[in-house]
Amino acid sequence: QVQLVESGGGPVQTGASLRLSCVASGRTFTTYAMGWFRQAPGKEREFVATITFGGVTRIADSVKGRFTISRDYAKNTAYLQMNSLEPEDTAVYYCAAALGSLLRDLSSEYDYWGQGTQVTVSS
């Protein structure tokens, strides 16, 4: 079992930056790919970013150039750095963990999920 706890969300204005954190506990952290997804009201959950245990990353086209993903093995933590935030980025952001070492951008490929953290961007 892996438990995931997100933090760092909140209300911001257009153009601001936020860094989301996801602390993992339980089984060995380094054997998991970590991902971030988001879900806006009335919309399906969508892929944002993922990072393998080896540090290979993939970023969704909709946020490429503004968002980056990273992980700190010593702290068992994954991060989502979000810059130049726009109102369209408003959503609940979820951290997820997937067994194995491959890049994964489908929510169905993830085994564990956090509770989510709200990000609200106002114009």
Q: Under a CB-based contact definition with an 8 Å cutoff, are residues 120 and 85 in contact?
A: no
With a cut of 80, say whether residue 75 has pLDDT above it.
yes
pLDDT (0 to 100) of residue 119: 98
Q: Which residues contact 97 (CB under 8 A, 6 or more apart)?
A: 2, 4, 24, 32, 33, 34, 35, 110, 111, 112
The overall average pLDDT reported for the chain is 94
Q: What amino acid occupies position 106? A: L
Q: Which residues of 74-97 are buried (b: 16+ CB within 10 A; e: fewer)?
A: eebbbbbebeebeeebbbbbbbbb
Q: What amino acid occupies position 83? A: N
Provide the percentage of residues in the chain whose pLDDT is more than 70. Answer: 98
